[in-house]
Structure 1
Amino acid sequence: MKNVIKIISGGLLVLLISAFTVNTNTNTGYKIGDVAEDFSLKNIDGNMVSMADYKNAKGFIITFTCNTCPYAVMYEDRIVALNKKYAPMGYPVIAIMPNNIDVKPGDALPEMKKRAEEKGFDFPYLIDEGQHVYPKFGATKTPHIFVLEKTGKGSVVKYIGAIDDNYKDASEVKVKYVENAVDALLKGQEVSEKETKAIGCSIKV
């Protein structure tokens, strides 16, 4: 009986150690202050796009989004508005579709192109083929936003999270997280609210 208890105790100990190890080694992607690696992804026009293409940019509003998530759809007009406002100031939107299209065929490249035309996207809408880019960022939702600032050491992550505090109704928004972050960076100030919880659909793998 003592041996059985020892075996059970040992087994529980192994499970606890394993669980602890898994939790502590999980790669959650970029943190605030990290330098984001550049990427080269296919745009809806067939051309490859990277951050290096934007020679005069001061930073980027990297937006992980898709066609099929209701949350992403509700934010489309606001993403278009962000680009219209901030691209001329040096912070363009780059949208990336991270989903596995075998799981979500409505997010395939032809459907992305169709949606972009319908909504008047005036920014790149890239597909993360092979799903290599979104895990580096640590994106988990659509939409999920990363504001980057170009510095001497590279594109530094300054904000991660939601676009604003009301996904349901743009007219009821009280805090515009992304706008506040970019406005602060344009003034040479620190971003006051660096992280918020992204609200949206889980990225399909």
Structure 2
Amino acid sequence: MRSFFTFLIAFFFTTGAFAQSGYRLGAKVDNFTLKDAQHQAVELSSFKDTPLVVVVFTSVSCPYSKLYENRLQSLSKAYSGKGAKFVYVNTNIGLEEGSQTDKAQPDRPSTQNFPYLIDEGQQLSKQFGATKAPEVFVLQNSNDGFYLRYKGAIDDNPQAENYVKERYLAGALDALLAGRSVANSERRATGCLIKRF
């Protein structure tokens, strides 16, 4: 019996240690600055005329991120004319102990039509509370800054695009662009775990 209580205490402490931090839904997002693959600084405030900004935490080392590349490109093309801007943030997922931050590959995806930023020291993924790659955060522009309206998964099937039944990110964008709130504003992302270091 005593060992059972010891287990419960350890379980609650472990669960608390891994509780997600970062922005809650509806929270105002602080301005941030990251460098792109060409070492140019990009600020969130530079999108002040954009109704929606989709921040995609990803990693060039993550197989799940590679599975979503084409889908995200298609979404970016479909929604760019409607008022949504996609921003990739390449964060280190910590595959190996002491590994350094992934560097953006020059042949991909810096050739794409959206910013690809490097999250040195996992600063921005910690700020947002991102835990997986890929994981998306939809920010809505208001008069006084950006507010978090959706976070989590892109859709319900990372392995096979043809078998996707629910398109969470597209649904969130459609709702916000139509002036509605997002019905399910948080969906658990499936992907590579972002290990903190």
Q: Structure 1 stretches (4+) deviating beyond 6 angstroms?
A: 104-107
Q: CA deviation at 1:90?
A: 1.6
Residue 55 (str. 1) matches residue 44 (str. 2): no
Matches within 5 A, 1:95-106: 95-99=88-92, 103=96
- Summarize deviations over 1:71-123 as a string: whole Å, max 9, x none: 110000111111111122221100101116794969632x4323215xx4211
1:92 aligns with 2:101: no
Q: Which protein shows a greater Rg? A: 1
- Picking from 123, 128, 131, the partner of 1:137 is 128
Q: 2: CA distance between counterparts of 1:24 and 1:107?
A: 23
- TM-score, scaled relative to structure 1: 0.82
Bigger fraction of residues in strand: 2
- Change in Cα spacing, 1:126 to 1:150, as seen in structure 2 (3 Å) is same
**May I ask how many residue pairs the two structures share in their alignment?**
192
Conserved 8 A contact 2:67-2:159: yes
Structure 1 runs not aligned, ≥5 long: 1-7
Structure 2 residues without counterparts, runs of 5 or longer = none
Greater helix fraction, Structure 1 or Structure 2: 1
Q: CA RMSD of the aligned region, Å?
A: 2.9
- Equivalence for 1:200: 191
The amino acid across from 1:72 in the alignment is: S
Secondary structure of the residue aligned to 2:187 is coil
Post-superposition offset of 1:153: 3.4
2:156 matched to 1:165? yes
Instruction: Give the fraction of aligned pairs with identical amino acids, expressed as a percent.
Output: 35
- CA–CA distance in structure 1, aligned partners of residues 148 and 56 of structure 2: 13
**TM-score normalised by length of structure 2:** 0.85
Q: Is the 8 A contact 2:157 2:164 kept in 1?
A: yes
